[in-house]
Amino acid sequence: MKLEACIETLAEAKLAAKHNLNRVELCSALDLGGLTPSAALIRACAEVIETHVMIRPRAGNFVFSTLEMALMMEEIAVARDFGATGVVFGCLTIENKIDFALSQHLVLAAHKNSLQCTFHRAFDFLEDQKTGLEQLIKLDFDRLLTSGGADTAQKGVENLARLVKDSNGRIEIMAGSGVNASNILELQHLGIDAAHFSIRKKTGEKVPLGMGEHYEPDEEKIIKILNVLKR
């Protein structure tokens, strides 16, 4: 089982590399579910660890306009130019079904530039995950990040197990949301290909004027997970 850290700072990228995690998903604004990071940060992180870049131009839903689609295409090109190994995105229709046409456009652009593609937790908004999984396989996504449609991966273990079975090795299944040392073995036993988790913690510092929470890298969390997996 591969280990992917969800990060938003260079310090976290260096910490993930220090402990030999397989890769990172690089975002900005993780408190909003993750947005596209800066080009400078992509370059810096890609120099120290395999980096997959969030392609999401705004917070909110995953229904993107033609203008936003053009931005996402440019963001994929930036990720390529600044050293990323892959990109991460999810596109839905207003009915919360996979936007097949837009997804295909983005996947083709990414694969043309030798970038891997991960469909993120927009998948957890789908009512019919079985059909959605088959669509992602047809679209040639490399992997799927999901909690099985639940708030956390632990709560979604039954659906995760079903997705692993239905995928039959045709797409990587990566469990995310609430993954930690207390549940990673249970997830590993499902046969998932990878586990995805954040490696930051709140400092408790109160930042005034609505400037957001302050975090620092959480090395202890990584060590606990590695100890459980005996790596």
Task: Read off the pLDDT of residues 108-146 as tens digits, 9 standing for 90 and up.
Answer: 999 999 999 999 999 999 999 999 999 999 999 999 999
CB atoms within 10 A of CB 220: 11
Position 207 scores a pLDDT of 87
Q: Is the pLDDT of residue 205 over 90?
A: no
Average pLDDT over residues 30-56: 97
Position 206 scores a pLDDT of 81
Expressed as residue numbers, the domain containing 208 is: 2-229
Position 130 scores a pLDDT of 96
Contact (Cβ atoms closer than 8 angstroms) between residue 115 and residue 81? no
85-100: b (≥16 Cβ within 10 Å) or e: bbbbbbbbeeeeebbe
Q: Which of 221, 150, 163 is nearest to 192 (CA)?
A: 163
**Residue 151: DSSP 8-state:** S
Q: Write the CATH number for 195.
A: 3.20.20.380
Q: Is the pLDDT of residue 215 over 90?
A: yes
CB atoms within 10 A of CB 111: 14
pLDDT digits (tens, 9 = 90+) for 153-194: 999 999 999 999 999 999 999 999 999 999 999 999 999 999
Q: Is the pLDDT of residue 231 over 90?
A: no
pTM of the model: 0.96
Task: Give the E-state strand segments of 20-150 in sequence order.
Answer: 23-26, 51-54, 86-89, 116-119, 143-146
Q: How many domains would you assign to the chain?
A: 1
Could you tell me the pLDDT band of residue 204, with boundaries at 50, 70 and 90? confident
Structure tokens at 118: 């991960």
Give CA–CA dist 54/27, Å, rounded: 5
Position 81 scores a pLDDT of 97
Average pLDDT over residues 55-61: 97
